[in-house]
Amino acid sequence: MTWQLFVFMMINGLSQGMLLFIIASGLSLVFGVLRVINFAHGSIYMIGAFLAYSLSTILSGQSLIGFLILLMVVPPVIAILGLALEVTLFRRVYREEHLLQLLLTYALVLILDDLVRVIWGGEPRSVARPELLAGSVDIFGMALPSYNVFILVVGPMIAIGLWLLLYRTRTGNIIRAAVSFPDTLGALGVNVSWVMTSTFMLGCWLAGFGGVLTAGLSNIDLGIGMQTIIECFAVVVIGGLGSVGGALLGSLIIGTGLTFFQLPFGRWALVFPYALMALVLIIRPWGFFGKPER
Amino acid sequence: MKQVKGKVLAMMALVLFSAAFTLGSNAIASDVIKLGFIADVSGIGAPFYKSQKAGLDMFIEEINAKGGILGKKLELVVRDSQLKPDVGANQARELILSEKCEFLIGPTSSAVALAVTKVSKEFKKIIFFHTSNAEALTTTAFQPYMFQVVPNTGIEGRGMAVVLSKKPYKKYSLIGPDYAYGHDQLNSFKSEMAKRRPDVQILDTVWVKLGESNFSTFIPTLMAKKPEAINAAFWGGQLSAFIKQAKPYGVFKETPVSSLFDLDMLRATGLDMPEGLTGYARAPFYAIDTPQMKEFIKKYYDKNKEWPADWAIMAYDGMIALTEAIKKANSTESEKVVDVLGGLKFNSLRGERFIRAEDHMANVGIYAGVTTKSPDYKEFLIMKDVQPVPAEEVWLPVEEIKKLQSEQK
């Protein structure tokens, strides 16, 4: 492998990792604060993708503005869907055992997936990339789609935004406190229930954002929710459940790993995220950045 | 006490009512021939399903308007197998046992077809395959209750090797979906190419999960070894996604891609489809010049307001063959119909065809051509210079068929 090809593959893999991070960080965040493993995160992400498709058919034309509107409108709508789900369902299972939470979120997967089938049907859809992002960028004589470059720019922005929110604002302090000392936080007079609701909404916002980006990247169909949630699990297990930094690391490892292992190992490259996940579970069950359960 | 009595009475009434209802529907059942269609309604096969259904519906409407067949009307019952073999097999059983279907119609996915053909064998119910086309259906998984009116993966893979062996390219990379269809297709291509052009090198074969539509990690791998040409065994939504994503990776600038350019895929890809690519179709309406095809196209367009895709044509052809067999056997009993299948001649939309006795494969070949824009169809590309590769040129010889069938477990 020439170093040019290496750099090209690296950039390409990082852009895949960034997209995965945007979705997986939502799952991780929600687990960190709510202690619920939200199986339905993938389905929520899928709804975001299909919503982006529907909206794009109204906003005809392949303008960059139209695409940015999708990115601004769809995630908040998904966050509001999250609000409804949190208030009506999730809130009731926080103090229940994990099995019950799993049953609830898995039931939600079935319901939401069928809802998508009823509303949008089984046909694969996609959002046309805006003209500005439809071409390619030259990297050492190899063409990289500008859309992948766009993801590579947006991903770190989201990561930095999340970091600022979590470590530089009062809201962030409260969210982090809710992860580590939920009981103390309540005793200090913080409305813990509201913290949980808004964290859940933030998680859904991230899922919706990832959904819009995916709709422009590839075809979307009824299978993407399940496929993505499995990948997200691999990410958060590797990075540590509840840790956003861990989600970033896990996503980038998986994104670049899949790209590089494809060349020598072919179809066996698919095994890589799960093999790594198994390895992490054996050596460090709480993941790279996670904390052991007390 | 009175209340309980009332409840018991109500229950009895319900039981009697439902019994009468089932009796009623059984009585009707003898006047119709039910066809159970195990279809891949959702996912990457969705556009194919729409076309298949439109073709079947049209045939059934036409024949029912003429009084049906042997005095019985045809009725279609559809189930969605979601590209999942286990789901498809269960639905085939349900269609036979609960819905009392007398004949089955196959799905889009070859993986589902391989599971469903076992059910057809078990219950001795005839099934025909019009889209799913694993060659194994006619060889190692052969059973006499099935027949195929779609060029199988062997005919397609070897057919494309015949076409591409005339081109100057020496270095190929292959890419395809990682299941029966993709493997059969690319293996047939490789072995025929090796025979015809020993100088051709296959650099790499990239396998992608069926249904995966994000090719970002696969396309750089495919291009890394700098092939002169690519043969892709994708189909439908997956192929369309591949072509759309390959374009900004600069694939088509240097490297032509060959694959299955059926009408639904061409429509879905629209003007993103590059010109000048050599590919093939199974039944391109615009390139088949038979009187029955002309009539079919007109009727189909009037009814559906779109041109008939390959899938509509082949499903329709399957129905022609099936009804021809029922007429010849003068019975709807599968035992009697299966006796006339071998050697059965039928006048398909693609012309006169017959079903080979040894493997129940109709002599249907592929149509190879080069993509081009056409003034007649503004929204999608078609193929020009279309040349048929007849089945007889590339299907497996009978001795080989028999050898493979004897290896059956």
Q: Which residues pair with A228 in a beta bridge?
A: none
Determine whether the interchain pair A145/B43 forms a contact, defined as Cβ–Cβ distance below 8 Å. no
The three-state DSSP-derived secondary structure of chain B is CHHHHHHHHHHHHHHHHHHHHHHHHHHHHCCEEEEEEEECCCHHHHHHHHHHHHHHHHHHHHHHHCCCECCEEEEEEEEECCCCHHHHHHHHHHHHHCCCCCEEECCCCHHHHHHHHHHHHHHCCEEEECCCCCHHHHCCCCCCCEEECCCCHHHHHHHHHHHHCCCCCCEEEEEEECCHHHHHHHHHHHHHHHHHCCCCEEEEEEEECCCCCCCCCCHHHHHHCCCCEEEECCCHHHHHHHHHHHHHHCHHHHCCEECECCHHHHHHHHHHCCCCCEEEECCCHHHCCCHHHHHHHHHHHHHHCCCCCHHHHHHHHHHHHHHHHHHHHCCCCHHHHHHHHCCCEEEECCEEEEECCCCCEECCCEEEEEEEEECCEEEEEEEEEEEEECHHHHCCCHHHHHHHHHCCC
Contact by Cβ (8 Å): B55, B312 = yes
| Burial call B339-376: b when 16+ CB within 10 Å, e when fewer | ebbeebebebbbeebebbebbbbbbbbbbbbbbeeeee
Determine whether the interchain pair A220/B41 forms a contact, defined as Cβ–Cβ distance below 8 Å. no
Determine whether the interchain pair A16/B218 forms a contact, defined as Cβ–Cβ distance below 8 Å. no
pLDDT at B5: 52
> What stretches of chain A show up as alpha helix (H) in DSSP?
3-34, 41-58, 64-88, 98-120, 131-134, 146-168, 170-180, 182-187, 192-217, 224-239, 244-265, 272-283
Determine whether the interchain pair A136/B250 forms a contact, defined as Cβ–Cβ distance below 8 Å. yes
Please indicate whether residue A185 or residue B14 has the higher confidence score (pLDDT): A185
Closest CA to B219 of A124, A2, A258, A212: A258
pLDDT at B29: 47
pLDDT at A293: 66
Q: Which residues of B touch A122 (CB under 8 A)?
A: 41-43, 46, 80
pLDDT at B25: 44
Predicted confidence band at A96 (pLDDT cuts at 50, 70, 90)?
confident
Per-residue pLDDT of chain B (409 residues; tens, 9 = 90+): 445 555 555 555 554 445 444 444 444 446 899 999 999 998 778 889 999 999 999 999 999 999 999 999 999 999 999 889 999 999 999 999 999 999 999 999 999 999 999 999 999 999 999 999 999 999 999 999 999 999 999 999 999 999 999 999 999 999 999 988 999 999 999 999 999 999 999 999 999 988 888 999 999 999 988 999 999 999 988 999 999 999 999 999 989 999 999 999 999 899 989 999 999 999 999 999 999 999 999 999 999 999 999 999 999 999 999 999 999 999 999 999 999 999 999 999 999 999 999 999 999 999 999 999 999 999 999 999 999 999 999 999 999 999 999 987 5
Element (H, E) at A128: none
- Percent of chain A residues topping a pLDDT of 70: 99
Q: Structural domain boundaries of chain A? A: 3-225
pLDDT at B20: 44
Taking CA–CA distances from B44, the nearest residue in chain A reads A124
Determine whether the interchain pair B217/A266 forms a contact, defined as Cβ–Cβ distance below 8 Å. no
Instruction: Walk across the sheet containing B366-374 and list its strands.
Output: B278-281, B366-374, B377-389
Chain segment A120-171, per-residue pLDDT in tens? 987 888 999 999 999 999 998 899 999 999 999 999 999 999 999 999 999 8
pLDDT at B237: 85
pLDDT at B6: 55
Chain segment B78-108, per-residue pLDDT in tens? 999 988 999 999 999 999 999 999 999 999 9
Cα B160–chain centre separation: 18
ipTM for the predicted complex comes to: 0.89
Q: Which residues of A touch B269 (CB under 8 A)?
A: none
When CB atoms are compared, the residue of B43, B223, B249 closest to A221 is B43
How far does the CA of residue B214 sit from the closest CA of chain A (Å)? 5
pLDDT at B27: 41
When CB atoms are compared, the residue of A5, A15, A122 closest to B42 is A122
When CB atoms are compared, the residue of B41, B46, B241 closest to A218 is B241
Q: Read off the pLDDT of each residue in A61-72 and give the average, rounded to a whole number.
A: 89
When CB atoms are compared, the residue of B41, B215, B224 closest to A5 is B224
Amino acid at B393: E
Q: Is any Cβ of chain A less than 8 angstroms from the Cβ of B188?
A: no
Element (H, E) at A188: none
pLDDT at B28: 47
Domains parsed from chain B with CATH numbers: 28-152+290-365 (3.40.50.2300), 154-287+366-393 (3.40.50.2300)
How far does the CA of residue A258 sit from the closest CA of chain B (Å)? 7
Predicted confidence band at A38 (pLDDT cuts at 50, 70, 90)?
very high
The three-state DSSP-derived secondary structure of A37-104 is CCCCHHHHHHHHHHHHHHHHHHCCCCCHHHHHHHHHHHHHHHHHHHHHHHHHCHHHHCCCCHHHHHHH
pLDDT at B43: 76
